[in-house]
Amino acid sequence: MHPIVRIAGIAVVFIITTLAWFVLGGIMMERTSSQTRKLEGRVADLWGNEQIQRAPTFTRRWTTPEEQVSTEMVDGQQKTVRKQVNVPQQEEMSPSSSDIDVDLKLDQRLKGLMWYALYDVGFKGRWVYTHERPERTDLHLGFDFPNAMGLYDDFRFVVDGKDMARTLRPNNGQLSTMVPVEPGQEVVLEVSYKSRGMDNWRYEPAQGVANLEDFSLAMTTDFDKIDFPPYTMSPSSRSRTEGGWALGWDFKQVVTGHKIGMTMPQRIQPGELASQLAFSAPISLFFFFLVLFVLGTLKNIDIHPINYLMLGGSFFAFHLLFSYSVDHLEVVLAFALSSVVSVVLVVSYLHLVVSARFAFVEAAAAQIVYLIGFSLAYFWDGFTGLTVTVLSILTLFLIMQLTGRIRWSDVLSRRPTADAPPAAS
């Protein structure tokens, strides 16, 4: 077979395999999207959504007498009537101190092709309000639950030592009560509960920008991969614990509009990983075919485009098996199974086509590097592009060194002879 015809045949095989990978990648994207839409709501209903715990509100309420002037008809005559009415007033107040403890425990669950970062949260808060006004007034205490439809076990709502959780009834996800306060009086509110959520947990000290006095929030986790959501404050202290972290946010006085929060660690998403591997597979196959073609040229081995078609199918078998086994097996186990199957297909086939040494040494090494190595790069979050770039440069260096002395004009113009050795010789 003329070298130009051989290269054209290999190119056709590469294009066909690439189209098959694009179809597989699209199918996996659609499967993942469909399952996400179907299961995310169910998981949220069973476990809970992302939680944002807002600080309780302390609202001072009072009335002020005002003169109200109106015009009325009396005995057919228009007269001006003046009345004294009490106009309600209110003012949002800030607590004089806040002391909060949060305990987060990760509980990741696999549903279909998606891992969900679920968590259990134990929340305890203690807020102190000091009435510094000279007059007696009524103080309205309001506490918003993170989720009006959520589950809150062992809930306590203690005002000045009295637990009112059993007597108060939530209204639109809020619990509230009224307390009369005297000048200089301190009101202590304590709230605690156990709940569940998903993906993120946040604490909102106030609506908008606020002045926080004597503020302390201690958070413990049972996971070591921590991250903070956007527009949240970094901890002022951190220390490692057995399997997690102890984090602290402590301020004597600070003005801020930022929240405090934690993003749960995310596992590799099987569906997204399968589609990414399928879309990037043509790169690995290109380098594998290139190395195989160069080695065949150097060793004068006759590998027909039909043989390349079988090898492309063996590469495609890796991604096909991985895509449809990853939602039944652990990601690592599905990856290992697919790798072994693909390598066995290639090695056992080239053992028949070329030779045992070529199959077990050159071909197996190239497949491990370009199929398994390229695919493993997607497990290293943040280093995928760098890993692929390094492998590509090393491959270019290897090909340049192997082919530096080849006269390609002679190779590409060479005509096949009648006594050419068979492929398996």
> Is residue 273 domain-shared with residue 239, that is, in the same domain?
no
Model pLDDT, residue 414? 64
Q: Are residues 52 and 15 part of one domain? A: no
Q: Which of 241, 263, 285 is the last residue of a domain?
A: 263
425 lies in some domain: no
* pLDDT of the residue at 384: 77
Domain membership of residue 28 (yes or no) is: yes
pLDDT of 309 reads 94
CB 307 within 8 A of CB 323: no
Report how far Cα 424 is from the mean position of its chain's Cα atoms. Answer: 51
> How confident is the prediction along the chain (425 residues), in pLDDT tens digits per residue?
677 888 899 999 999 999 999 999 999 988 888 777 777 677 777 777 889 999 999 988 877 777 777 777 777 777 777 777 777 778 888 898 999 999 999 988 887 778 888 999 999 999 999 988 888 888 999 999 998 778 899 999 999 989 988 888 888 888 889 999 988 899 999 999 999 998 899 999 887 777 888 999 999 999 988 889 988 888 989 999 888 999 999 998 888 878 999 999 988 888 888 998 999 899 999 999 999 988 888 888 888 999 999 999 999 999 999 999 888 888 889 999 999 999 999 999 999 999 999 999 999 999 999 899 888 888 877 677 788 788 888 888 888 888 887 777 777 676 655 444 444 43
Q: In this structure, are 314 and 382 located in the same domain?
A: yes
Q: What is the pLDDT of residue 331?
A: 87
Residues 24, 139 within the same domain: no
Number of domains in the chain: 2
The answer to whether the CB of 371 falls within 8 A of the CB of 315 is yes
Task: Give the rounded distance of the alpha carbon of 181 from its chain centre.
Answer: 47
Pairing state between β 174-181 and 210-221: unpaired
Residue 102 has a pLDDT of 95
Residue 73, in any domain of the structure: no
Whole-angstrom Cα distance, residue 94 to residue 205?
Answer: 10
Contacts of 290-294 with CB under 8 Å at 24 or more apart are: 290/395, 290/399, 291/362, 291/366, 291/370, 291/395, 291/398, 291/399, 292/363, 292/366, 293/7, 293/10, 294/399, 294/402, 294/403
- Residues 279 and 209 occupy one common structural domain: no
Q: Choose the final residue of a domain: 235, 263, 291.
A: 263
The answer on 344 and 232 residing in a single domain is no
Same domain as 224, residue 314? no
Residue 369 lies in a domain: yes
- Domain with 309, as residue range(s), is 3-39+268-413
Q: Are residues 30 and 100 in the same domain?
A: no
Q: Are residues 353 and 273 in the same domain?
A: yes
The reply to whether 72 falls in a domain is no
In a domain, 77, yes or no: no
Classify burial at 294, counting beta carbons within 10 Å of its beta carbon; exposed 0-12, middle 13-18, buried 19 or more. middle
Is residue 23 assigned to a domain?
Answer: yes
User: Of 213, 237, 263, which residue constitutes the final position of a domain?
Assistant: 263
Same domain, 113 and 216: yes
Are 232 and 320 found together in one domain? Answer: no
Q: What is the CATH number of the domain that holds 94?
A: 2.60.40.3680
Note whether 190 and 338 are same-domain residues.
no
Q: Is 80 in contact with 71 (CB distance < 8 Å)?
A: yes
Angstrom distance (rounded) from CA 25 to CA 4: 31
Q: Can you give the pLDDT at residue 415?
A: 60
